[in-house]
Chains A and B, each alone.
Chain A
């Protein structure tokens, strides 16, 4: 249905409700920065080894914070990360000239976008896209707040502070930086809906691609560790002193992480036309709000279930077609219980047998980026035919949320048909994405 058209007829509305009414959208590239390192490979290897990147960190002095671990991004390999590059047409953009205007979150985003573009075979092509063809859909909860905190600390101390430190503070900074790097002139928008941001951004990209608003979308998110969120989640006593243990009986809270994740999304025909192979198909997206409480999830999981149901309907598939779940799984008592109820509502009896993985146990909760990095891991799981385990833990799976968590070794699922990735946010905004394994040109 053309974007921006006048009021749709009932028939158009009915048809548009299912993703089948629009063109199919593929993931053609992926890039990531996480506590396991800069790149998709360190992320994947760390997760598949059942390791955790959640450990004591050095970004700021945490001695007076209630907890002392996080999944901090290590320094990039020497000389391997281009922080600023030439933008379209050989003209340098403003952010190139003043690299100091880039926040750490911006740098994560640019690295992930660069890796994704290269993986899609598009890094040369992106700056030369036709006008309006390229767009960025990003999620972030704090943008350049880490740098902003430094500035604000100066102010509190009665000093002036340097403006460049606050210039990059905006939540829309990372998404805008990516758009600037590639000279995009299409839609650029940043979602800041807490833990659902990345998934909502990917959903927005899907809608824009289907509607023909863009031809190539860089969709994902970025967030960096900062004292505001680290202290904030600790004020809610929501953070475990140990690395989080989703779905386990003794789980005691979440772990915070940082990084970025970017997916290159294009119409399927476009990917195939240049002889590239999709990593997976982005089949559907759905979202719904608990409208219940500002911090606690609605305990019966109704809002989460509604988001999942909407995503399934959007993808035109049934729950029985989903072969594994990348759960939101923060490791708090309340989230995992509510999420389990949602999975039971959707999958019924089958929920207990449906393989589930919890990426946050490996890389922590990336906040505004979490939905994006978990979507990326879901895509890799389909493309590589295996589901990563969670790190070993002493306590058993909680009998009141008995998810079939993958433990020990990766679970081989070479024939998985479709996968669900869920994001259940602080404030009650829930988002779900459905990815389909790419099996070849003839579906």
Chain B
């Protein structure tokens, strides 16, 4: 089983590198906090941008109906989702 913690580190790095959130560093991201709405306050387009980055980084394919669901609720849930696909 791939190491979820290292996946999470890479996901946080993707968020910082791709979503242009001013002043954000990976260590500032709470893995359990909501990504959308509150928490980081990302929206649907941010989600899609993150999906493109995740697909490229991890070499996986994410289906349209998987986006915005529970898998994407937080960094932690997204990392578990990705790890399950590796």
A and B touch in the complex (CB under 8 A): yes
A237 near B45: Cβ-Cβ < 8 Å: no
Q: Does A274 contact B (CB under 8 A)?
A: no
* Residues in A whose Cβ lies below 8 Å from that of B52: 235
A236 contacts partner chain B, Cβ-Cβ < 8 Å? yes
Are A237 and B67 in contact, CB atoms less than 8 angstroms apart?
Answer: yes
Bound-state Cα–Cα, A237 to B48, Å: 8
A296 on the B face (CB < 8 A): yes
Smallest CB–CB gap between B52 and chain A, Å? Answer: 7
Contact with A along B27-47 (1 / 0, CB 8 A): 000000000000000011100
Q: Main SS of the interface on chain B?
A: helix
Q: Which of A271-316 contact B (CB under 8 A)?
A: 293-296
Interface size on A, residues (CB 8 A): 9
Bitwise interface map of A from 248 to 261 toward B, beta carbon under 8 Å scored 1, else 0: 00001100000000
**B48 neighbours in A (Cβ, 8 Å):** 235-237
Nearest Cβ on chain B to A63's Cβ, whole angstroms: 15
Please tell me if the beta carbons of A294 and B64 are within 8 angstroms of each other in the complex: no
Contacts of B67 in A (CB 8 A): 237
**Neighbour of B43 across the interface among A235, A252, A253, A293, CB < 8 A:** A293
The answer to whether B64 and A296 have CB atoms under 8 Å apart is no
| Residue among A236, A237, A253 facing the most chain B CB atoms (10 A cut-off) | A237
Q: Which residues of B contact A235 (CB under 8 A)?
A: 48, 52
Instruction: Select from chain B the residue with minimum beta-carbon distance to A240.
Output: B64
Q: Min CB distance, A251 to chain B, in Å?
A: 12
Q: How far is the CA of A253 from the CA of B64 in the complex (A)?
A: 10
Q: Which of B44, B45, B51, B64 contacts A252 (CB 8 A)?
A: B64
Complex contacts, B51 vs chain A, CB 8 Å:
237
> What residue of chain B has the Cβ atom nearest to residue A241's Cβ?
B64
In the complex, residue of chain A having the shortest beta-carbon distance to the beta carbon of B51: A237
Binary interface encoding of chain B residues 58-86 relative to chain A, with 1 for a CB under 8 A from any of its CBs, else 0: 00000011010000000000000000000
Say how far B32's CB is from chain A's closest CB, in angstroms. Answer: 26
Report whether A295 and B64 are in contact in the complex, using a CB–CB cutoff of 8 Å: no
Residues of B within 8 A of A252 (CB): 64-65
Question: B64–A237 contact, CB under 8 A?
Answer: yes
Please give, as numbers and ranges, the residues of chain B lying within 8 Å of A293 by CB-CB distance. 43
A235 to B64, CA, bound (A): 10
Cα separation A77 to B75 with both chains bound (whole Å): 56
- Identity of the chain B residue whose Cβ is nearest the Cβ of A253 in the assembled complex: B64
Bound CA span A294–B65, Å: 21
Q: How far is the CB of B50 from chain A (nearest CB, A)?
A: 12
Residue positions of A touching B, CB distance < 8 A:
235-237, 252-253, 293-296
Known: A235-B48, A237-B67. 10 other contacts (CB 8 A): A235-B52, A236-B45, A237-B48, A237-B51, A237-B64, A252-B64, A293-B43, A294-B45, A295-B44, A296-B44
Which 6 A-B residue pairs are closest in the complex by CB-CB distance? A237-B64, A295-B45, A236-B48, A237-B48, A296-B44, A237-B67
